[in-house]
Structure formats: C-alpha cells, structure tokens
C-alpha cells in the first residue's frame, strides 16, 4: 500500500474510533471507492456488521455508536425520544415488559435500512417527526446546550466514555409518548410514567405545549399530570397553548376528564402498581 493510501486508511481509522460506524454513502462522499473499501475489508482493517456499513478492526458494535453515527456522520437529525429517552433517564421499570429494549427514534427522515439489520440485542423503532412543529435541528457539536434545551433536547452520556447522544428531555419525551398513545395499554404505561414526573420544569413544559401540534398529546399529558396532582402543574404558563375544541375519546367507554375533555380508562388506579 502506497503512502497516499496508507494516509487515507489512517484518517478513516481515526475518524471511526472504537464504536462508530461508517456507511457506504459516507465513504463514497469522502473519496473511498468500492475497490478501496473492499481492500480494507479483505485486509482486516474494516469489518461489516451489516451490508453497507462498517466498523474499524477491533471496534465494538453498540447501539449508542450506531445512533451517534446517524446523528453526526450521516446528519439525519434523528434523536432518541419517547419511551427509550425516559428509559435512559431511569424510568425503565415503568415500561411494559420488553419495551425497554426498543430504541425509539424521532426525526424528519427514516433511518437507513442497515440500522435494523445490525446484530444488536436492542431493536430500533422509527416514529416519525413526533408531535412538535419545529423543523429537525442540526446536531452539530457547536450547537450549545441552550439551543438544544429550547427544543426540549439534551446531550446524554449513558456511561463514562460512551458516545454522547441527542435525546429528549423528560418533558419532551413524555409528550412524545402521549402523542403515540393508541390503546388503553399505552395509557396505563404513560400514567405510571407520569406519576414519576415529579420534577418537570414548568417553563419548559409550557414552551413544549405551545409547540406541540397534537391536541391528544397535550390533553392527555395535562389530564394525567392533574390526576397525580404534580406541584409543577399550576406553574405551567398556558398562554398560547391550543387545546382544541370538543371532546376527545381515547378509549371506548372511558371516563371523561372534566377539565381536559378527554376520555381515560376508568380502571387506571387498578393498573398503577
């Protein structure tokens, strides 16, 4: 291998690190031909955990590295939200059995097919743009914490030395989950999670409610917060929050919440362990 090709290989290995992934799309865009990539693989410098994506020799395949690669190298502007963001923040024991291993991603563009083919214990679920009216934000490193915070996002590091990922804050994640509710089982889950939401920040909640497009998500969020009598709820600024008109039926035969005009299962207390 000549010096020029060695230099390209060294740059690539430095770029990858221990847990990052790199796709064919990125490689082609940065001047790595199919034949050169094939040579790296045959020489053992790269390994391919799924078709179209690569790890460096000795690299560790982890879901965090896969998501971080989507957020930075692929610039897909997908964030970890909803159920799994709450799991990362210590609420996994409130989730339905088996759901704590499903990584829920939100964003304006579906992730590439290789993500679902990686041999990982976790699986990925893409849930679209979510209930908010913001355009997907860039996750460039130079974006400050304040810029992310304005959209209910944050950088989360699961463990020392792990990749820092863009995730929903608890306030945004619970609203995202409220927007995904489609049956009584999910309402029971959200209700259990809402009981634990004792430290939400009222100003951030108010901002998110103003930018939330889903009437269902807002009403369910507020009805469950009121049901658990959270101290932060009276401090939420409701100016500019559109709660729509008329009644909303989530479950047949449910109980209508007198304030937020949305039906909730009548047996919520029986499911709250």
Q: Write down the pTM of the prediction.
A: 0.90
What is residue 13's predicted lDDT score, i.e. its pLDDT?
A: 86
DSSP bridge partners of 264: 255
pLDDT tens digits along 83-99: 999 988 888 766 655 55
d(CA 143, CA 251): 41
What pLDDT score does 272 carry? Answer: 66
Q: What is the 3-state secondary structure (H, E, C) of the chain?
A: CCHHHHHHHHHHHHHHCCCCCEEHHHHHHCCCCHHHHHHHHHCCCEEEEECCEEEECCCCCCHHHHHHHHHCCCCCCCEECHHHHHHHHHHHHHCCCCHHHEEEEECCCCCCHHHHHCCCCCEEEECCCCCECCCCCCCCCCCCHHHHHCCCEEEEECCCCCCEEEEECHHHHHHHHHHCCCCHHHHHHHHHHHHCCCCCCHHHHHHHHHHECCHHHHHHHHHHHHHCCCCCHHHCCCCCCCCCCCCECCCCCCEECCCCCEEECCCHHHHCC
Average pLDDT over residues 125-141: 83
pLDDT band, residue 273 (cuts 50/70/90): low
Identify the residue whose tokens are 């509710």. 181
Instruction: Identify the weakest region by mean pLDDT among 16-25, 136-145, 192-201.
Output: 136-145
What percent of the chain has pLDDT above 70? 89
> Does the structure show a pLDDT above 80 at 188?
yes
CA separation for the pair 90, 166 (Å, rounded):
16
Q: Does residue 153 have a pLDDT over 90?
A: yes
Mean local confidence (pLDDT), 129-147: 76
Supply 72's token pair. 């930075």
What lies within 8 Å, CB to CB, of 128 at 6+ separation is: 106
Check whether 251 has a pLDDT greater than 80: yes
Instruction: Give the pLDDT mean for 94-115.
Output: 81
What pLDDT sits at residue 269?
77
CB of 20 closer than 8 Å to CB of 65: yes
- Report which of 122, 126, 128, 210 is spatially closest to residue 171, judged by C-alpha positions: 210
Which has more confidence, 168 or 138? 168
């Amino acid at each position: 291998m000549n010096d020029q090709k060695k230099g390209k290989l060294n740059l690539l290995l430095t770029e990858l690190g221990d847990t990052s992934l790199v796709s064919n799309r990125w490689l082609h865009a940065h001047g790595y031909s199919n034949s050169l990539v094939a040579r790296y693989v045959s020489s053992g410098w790269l390994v391919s955990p799924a078709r179209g994506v690569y790890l460096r020799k000795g690299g560790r395949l982890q879901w965090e590295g896969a998501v971080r690669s989507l957020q930075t190298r692929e610039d897909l502007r997908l964030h970890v939200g909803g159920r799994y963001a709450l799991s990362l923040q210590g609420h996994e024991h409130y989730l339905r059995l088996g759901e704590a291993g499903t990584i829920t991603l939100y964003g304006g563009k579906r992730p590439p097919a290789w993500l679902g083919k990686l041999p990982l214990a976790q699986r990925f679920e893409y849930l679209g743009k979510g209930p908010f009216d913001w355009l997907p934000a860039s996750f460039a490193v130079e974006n400050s914490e304040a810029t992310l915070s304005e959209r209910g996002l944050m950088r989360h590091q699961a463990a020392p030395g792990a990749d820092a990922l863009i995730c929903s804050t608890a306030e945004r994640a619970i609203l995202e989950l409220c927007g995904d509710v489609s049956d009584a089982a999910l309402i029971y889950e959200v209700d259990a999670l809402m009981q634990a939401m004792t430290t939400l920040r009222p100003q951030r909640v108010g901002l998110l409610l103003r930018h939330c497009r889903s009437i269902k998500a807002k009403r369910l969020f507020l009805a469950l917060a009121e049901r658990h009598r959270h101290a932060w709820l009276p401090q939420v600024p409701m100016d500019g929050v559109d709660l729509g008109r008329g009644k909303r039926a989530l479950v047949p035969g449910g109980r209508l919440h007198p304030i937020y005009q949305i039906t909730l299962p009548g047996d919520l207390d029986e499911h709250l362990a």
